[in-house]
Every structure is written in structure tokens, then in C-alpha cells.
Amino acid sequence: MLKTDVRYLKGIGPARGRQLSRLGIETIFDLLLHVPRGYHDRRIITPIRSLVPGEEINVSGTVVSSGYLRSRNGKTRLESIIRDNTGELKLTFFHFRYIADRLKPGTRIIASGRIDYFGGISIVHPELIFLDEERSDTRLVLPLYPLTAGITQGIIRKLIETVLDEYVSEVPEVLPPDVLNSMGFQNRSEVIRKVHFPDDPEEGSRARRTLALEEFFVYQSLLSYVRNRATKRTGMKIIPPEGTLAEFVCGLPYSLTGAQQKVLEAIAADLRRDVPMRRLLQGDVGSGKTVVAAAACILCCRSGYQAVMVAPTEVLASQHYRTVSGMLESAGIRCGLLTGGIKASDRRNLLESLLDGSLGVLIGTHAVFEERVVIPEMGLCIIDEQHKFGVEQREKLLSKREPSPHFMLMSATPIPRTLAMTIYGDLDISVLDEMPPGRGSTTTRVMNRDSRTKVYEFLLDRLGSGERAYIIYPLREASEELDLKDAATSFEILKRGPLGKFGVGLLTGAMKPEEKLEVTGKFVSGEISILVSTTVVEVGLDVPEATVMVVTHAERFGLSQLHQLRGRIGRGGNNSWCFLMKGEECGAEGARRLAILNSTDDGFRIAERDLQLRGPGEVAGTRQHGVPAFRIASLIDDLDLLEKAADMAARSDLWKSLTDEYKLRFRGLDILEL
């Protein structure tokens, strides 16, 4: 019954159905969980003397007089004067058929509404409670719902009241009874009743918190189910010959950081087990994830299996190919690069050497997941910087294969731990929390528009001493073309100006893959020293000679996004500079936000600020990471509940009984079907 479409309810036609669906309400269940955004407490009475126009208030008083007035346009209105012991107030009604008789002098009422001017201070069409005829069903605390055009508080209250009466007893229990009790409730239907019609606002918000906990709990339970199911799959024991790792490390031009060593040990231990690894490797930009991935590949190949490494773009895939093959081919392991743009004959060769086992590591873009790419001995799959790789995509990839390959996701997007729990709750998390030594420092400066010439002079100076620079333009989804024009125009201007002699290139998302490869190739080799671009350089590009970054309209970027961009510089031994240029629209608020980047280079702290300031969807691509759309719980205000829910979910095995609940709530997500 809970799945029933609201349009089958009495009194809801197609038009109302459309209005409700704008609020995300399709089913009876949705209506039950359309929780108020707050409550109007009619027990809080304002003395008439202290009324302020514009405020929503309640006054309690006695009717002094009521009378009809005719306005100039011929319409009649009813005006009643009420009095409390501080003064008098006028109530105005244009529709009064049902009310006129009840507003006789001497009647005691509570009138609620907004204080307006209407021929003097007045409430127009107040909501009324008649104190002398008070019935037990008169509600003193009213829910205030999120609304949409065509739906008033009155309409939605009535609807919810009706479905509560008829259906709330049907909702199955979700939270364990002791948890409900600790929140002060007996059962779930009581919680749902009270969230809509509490005795006081405190009870209402306690009910809302309980429902938020419930929502987190359902999601976390399903994640722990996915996790458990994965551990039941058969994996491959990857047991390389003694000394493989030590030999690899010896061959590197640097020694590993402590963090890299620790993470590698954890990975090696995972690979030895016959349970498939599911791990997230988080490490700030420049923390050295690639070498960790390469080491994991060598462990895999030395044990007779093949490894796959996937990057989101062709530019990054070929960069990985250069780096990883540089480290592995000397050890006799063949690497291949597979992208959408490769020649048919090369592809054929590659596929053949995959099949006959002579190719050890396949590096590429999503092209590696095509049907025709058969990797007979795939023991390890590593995915780098892939934002659109949520829990569903992971399951799609991993549940198909038997035995199931070991899996590692790498991300430079630092996200707060709690957020990571919802996005990566099915994975073990390792963090590279130590930067390789020998890096120059990066100085960040927030600049006004009128310091542009100073910045350009500085650029000239650095480029003159052989360093390289990025100039970044924002990219707004809404007006992509306009922004591209910004970058392209600036590219043309720079090319002709004094910076032109250093070589200027343009890299935008709209370019063809081979064009992108060409221009980044030139920047890597130093043929050009300035790369004008958009956020496409945000992730992964590793050019140690780049020391200056100029970000225009910096206020349009998220903090985490700027932090990611800034990570493109300061990767060599030289000191680096990041100039955040404020645009015209940058207000004081924007400037304060940017100053945060000035004060810290800890990606996790920046992400946490971003989360507070802009919400979970905005934290550097977490929207694409697959944060589910929670309808009640807030990833900002209810984060404490998330930890509690994850804890409860890990200890209970309720997920089986929650599958229906899950489908009712998270439409479009089908982890269960995989």
C-alpha cells in the first residue's frame, strides 16, 4: 500500500499529482515522509502592543466589534477588532461566509498570521482558534512544510492528515526498539505521527532526528550488505616471489614515504588473501599514489596475473602509461595503453597480447571495460580519480567476474570522513597523509582585479627563468560556451602579448582527445610554457616544472576544487605561487571563503569547510561520486547520526528486512539488483 501512487488518493487529480511530484512526492510513503521544515507554535502569544509588521505571530484576545465595510471597487470586507490587555488589533477578511457569525463581540480567539498594513496594522485572513469552543482536535503546534506553486500549507496538512489516519499503521518497523526508546518513542508510526503533529516543536524535531537516523541506517545497512556480499566472493591469492617489493623499491629514484610504505603493506596483505580487496586509497594531490599503484601492479604480475589501471581522461591515461611503464618495463613487465582514440591495428595487437598473457598491465580510459576487451587473468583493477564511480558502478564491474579481481579506487579528493562513509562505505579506506620530501613551498594569494598587471609581470619573471604556468578559467555548466570563450579569448590575447614568446597552449574539455594530448604533451616537454585551461586540468596532471597558477574568477570555484587546482603546482623542488583573482561579483563573503585557502593547505580541512559552506553536493565532485539524495537527513546537521547509523548497521544484520524500505526510499539506485 505504501507504494501506491498518490494520484489514486481521493481528491488528487493529475494537476495536483504534478504539483506533488515537484516536491518529490510520488507515493503514499513519500507523503508520510514529507517532513516539516519547522513548526508554527500557536502557544507563543505576542502582546498586541509589541507587534511588528512583517512578522508571523499569534495574538490572543477578545472580539470587541465586527462590521462590514465596502471598498471603492464595490467589494465588501469584514473587519473585526480584537483586544488584549495591551491594545487593539484589526483582523481583515475578504471571504467571511463561514466566519462572520462566529466573530461576535466577547468571543475569545487566538489569531495567527502575518502582520500587514491594511488601512492600519492588521492581519489579513488570520488562522483562528476559538478558545470558548475549543475542541480536542484543535492543533496548537502546526507543521510548516516545504511548498511548491499551487500547494498551500492547508492543502498539504490536510493530505498528510488523511494518509496518516489511513496508512501510518502499515509502516513496517525499521529501527531496533531500544534505539526508538532512547529517542523517546514506542514505534515507527508514532515517530511519523509526531514529526507531523507534535505536541511541541521539541518533540517534532526529536521525531525528525529519529527519521534522519532511520534514513542513514537503511543506507548504511545496504552498504554493509554490499560489503559482506563482496567478501563472500572468491578472490585470487596474489603471492609474489619473495623480495619482489623490495626489488621494486630499490629501483626507484627516491625512497618511499612512511605513508606509502604503510599503505603498500596493507595492500600486499590484502592481495595475499582469497577475499577480493576493496580499498579506497585517498591521498592529497602530489602525495604519490601512482607509485603505490605501480607497486601493486608488479605484485600482481609477478604472481602470474594481469592488472588494469583506469584513468578518467586520455591525457591522464597516457601520463600514467608513461610513468608506470617507465617503472615496470625495466623489470620485464609489458604495459599497454588502450584509449578510445587508438589505431585499429594497435588495438588488435593489444587485445591479442592480453589474450596470450604477454601483456602484464593494461592502462587506459573506460575503453578497457568494453566487451571485446578480454583480460583472461585479471587479478587487480585500479581506478584513478574516477568521479563517476559510485557504489553501483563498482558493483557492476566487480560482481560480474568470478573469481573477483582485487579492486582499488584512488582519489585525490579529500572528503570528510563522515561523507566518505556514505560514498565509500563498502570499501576499506587508506590515507596517504604524508607528502614526499623535497617539495618547494606553495604560496597562495587572493588578488584584486586591479593587481592583474602585477601578476603578469610576476609571470614574465618566472617564465623567464624557465618555469611554467597555468591560467585557469571557470567553467559553469549553465553557460559552458561563454566560459570557453573566456578561455579561448584570453588564449588569443596572451599569444599575441609579451607572454607569447614563451609558448601558449589552450586546453578545454570541448577539444578532441588527440588535440588535448598534443597540447599537454607540449606543456610536459616544455615546448610551451603557459597552459590556458578550465577545470579539466584539475585532476592528476603532473608537471613538476609548473610553478605558477593564476585562477580567474576564483570565487566561482568551490574551495576543494581550488585546492585540487593548486595541487597542479608545487610538484617539483621549486617554490610555487597560486594567485586567486577575484572577479567583479566577488563580495565580502566570497573573499572570506577564498581566504580559507590562504590559511591552510590541508585538503581535509578545506573539504570540511566546503561541506559546511556549500553542502555535500558541492564538495569537489561528490555529486558525481554518488552521494545519495537523502530526503530527511542532512549531511551537515545530522553527521553525528551518520556515525551512529553506520555503527548500528555494522553490528546488525537487518538489511534483509530492509530491502523493500530501501527501494521505497532510494529510487533509481539499484545496488540490490546487481
Residues engaged in binding ligand ADP (CB under 6 A): 254, 256-257, 260, 283, 285-291, 412, 436, 542, 544, 571
Q: How far is the CB of 288 from ligand ADP (least distance, A)?
A: 3
Q: Cell numbers 602579448 label which residue? A: 497
Judged by CB, which is closer to Mg ion: 192, or 541? Answer: 541
Judged by CB, which is closer to Mg ion: 240, or 540? Answer: 540
Sign of the torsion angle spanned by Cα atoms 23, 29, 31, 34: negative
Contact 569, 543 (CB under 8 A): no
Judged by CB, which is closer to ligand ADP: 173, or 434? Answer: 434
What angle do helix axes 188-196 and 153-167 make, rounded to 10 degrees?
160
What does 288 bind: Mg ion, ligand ADP, none (CB cut-off 5 to 8 Å by kind)?
ligand ADP
Q: Indicate the burial class of 93 (C-beta count within 10 angstroms; 0-12, 13-18, 19 or more).
A: buried
Judged by CB, which is closer to ligand ADP: 163, or 308? Answer: 308
Q: How far is the CB of 637 from Mg ion (least distance, A)?
A: 34
What does 238 bind: ligand ADP, Mg ion, none (CB cut-off 5 to 8 Å by kind)?
none
What does 405 bind: ligand ADP, Mg ion, none (CB cut-off 5 to 8 Å by kind)?
none
Judged by CB, which is closer to ligand ADP: 8, or 254? Answer: 254
Closest CA to 543 of 581, 505, 582: 505
Q: To the nearest 5 percent, what fractions of the chain are helix, strand and coil?
A: 45, 20, 35
Q: How far is the CB of 260 from ligand ADP (least distance, A)?
A: 6
Q: How far is the CB of 330 from ligand ADP (least distance, A)?
A: 15
Phi and psi angles of residue 452, each rounded to the nearest 5 degrees, phi first: -60, -45
What does 622 bind: Mg ion, ligand ADP, none (CB cut-off 5 to 8 Å by kind)?
none
End-to-end CA distance of the chain: 26
What does 151 bind: ligand ADP, Mg ion, none (CB cut-off 5 to 8 Å by kind)?
none
Judged by CB, which is closer to ligand ADP: 193, or 279? Answer: 279
Per-residue DSSP letter, 45 = P
Q: Indicate the burial class of 458 (C-beta count within 10 angstroms; 0-12, 13-18, 19 or more).
A: middle
Query: How many whole angstroms separate alpha carbon 444 and alpha carbon 456?
Result: 16
Judged by CB, which is closer to ligand ADP: 483, or 542? Answer: 542
Q: How many other C-beta atoms lie within 10 A of the C-beta of residue 393?
A: 15
Contact 111, 99 (CB under 8 A): no
Please identify the residue of the shown chain whose CB is closest to the bound ligand ADP: 288
* Part of the chain binding Mg ion (CB under 5 A), chosen from 89-97, 192-200, 532-540, 654-662: 532-540
Contact 477, 611 (CB under 8 A): no
Q: How far is the CB of 465 from ligand ADP (least distance, A)?
A: 20
Judged by CB, which is closer to ligand ADP: 288, or 360? Answer: 288
| Site membership for Mg ion, residue 628 (CB under 5 A) | no
DSSP 150-188: T--HHHHHHHHHHHHHHHGGGPPP-S-HHHHHHTT-SSH
| Site membership for Mg ion, residue 540 (CB under 5 A) | yes
What does 312 bind: Mg ion, ligand ADP, none (CB cut-off 5 to 8 Å by kind)?
none
Q: Is 522 helix (H, G, I), strand (E, B) or coil?
A: helix
Q: How far is the CB of 565 from Mg ion (least distance, A)?
A: 14
What does 254 bind: ligand ADP, Mg ion, none (CB cut-off 5 to 8 Å by kind)?
ligand ADP
What does 287 bind: Mg ion, ligand ADP, none (CB cut-off 5 to 8 Å by kind)?
ligand ADP
Residues within the interface to Mg ion (CB under 5 A):
540
